[in-house]
Structure 1
Amino acid sequence: MDARIPPRPIATPCIKVCMVDGQSGLCLGCHRTLPEIARWAGFSDDERTAILAELPARRDRIAPEKLGLV
């Protein structure tokens, strides 16, 4: 790899609101789990794409009043 070419940025759903809901185990900002957040940079593009596709449906697992906190 050419040292002059910067690495390609990794797509992330992070919105810089990092609070994990104890009941659902999901981040109130991006709806990922703590293990997913921790391993995000190590996932393949396909793994990240699969998780990103699941995130909108995960919002329903968080109590609506908690989402008002972010």
Structure 2
Amino acid sequence: MAVKSPCIDVCAFDGKTKMCVGCFRTLEEIRGWKKMTDHRRHQVINDRSRRQAKLQHEPSELPPD
């Protein structure tokens, strides 16, 4: 069974880390998701908490709303 995408439809990228603030993937990972092996998808998903912590500890460069 294919690993489901972690996308939550909050597609905004942090300017410093280059990660989506919704799913914590890079643009390259998002673009390549359908071609990734399930093993690689699990790696990306399992790295979510580390990526989220990194994003929260670094000041964001997103423009104000």
Please tell me the TM-score bracket, short chain as reference: 0.7 to 0.9
Displacement of 1:63: 3.6
Superposed structure 1 runs of 4+ greater than 6 Å apart: none
Q: Which amino acid aligns with 1:60?
A: A
Q: Which runs of 5+ in 2 are unaligned?
A: none
**Superposition pairs for residues 1-70 of structure 1, below 5 Å?**
10-63=3-56
Which has the greater radius of gyration? 1
1:2-22 per-residue CA deviation (whole Å, 9 max, x = no partner) reads: xxxxxx665111000000001
Aligned length: 60
Please provide the CA RMSD for this pair: 2.1
| TM-score, normalised by the number of residues in structure 2 | 0.79
Question: Within 2, Cα distance between the matches of 1:63 and 1:53?
Answer: 17
**What SS does structure 2 have at the residue aligned with 1:62?**
helix
| TM-score, normalised by the number of residues in structure 1 | 0.74
**What SS does structure 1 have at the residue aligned with 2:40?**
helix
The answer for the alignment partner of 1:3 in structure 2 is: none
Displacement of 1:56: 1.3
Question: Within 2, Cα distance between the matches of 1:10 and 1:46?
Answer: 9
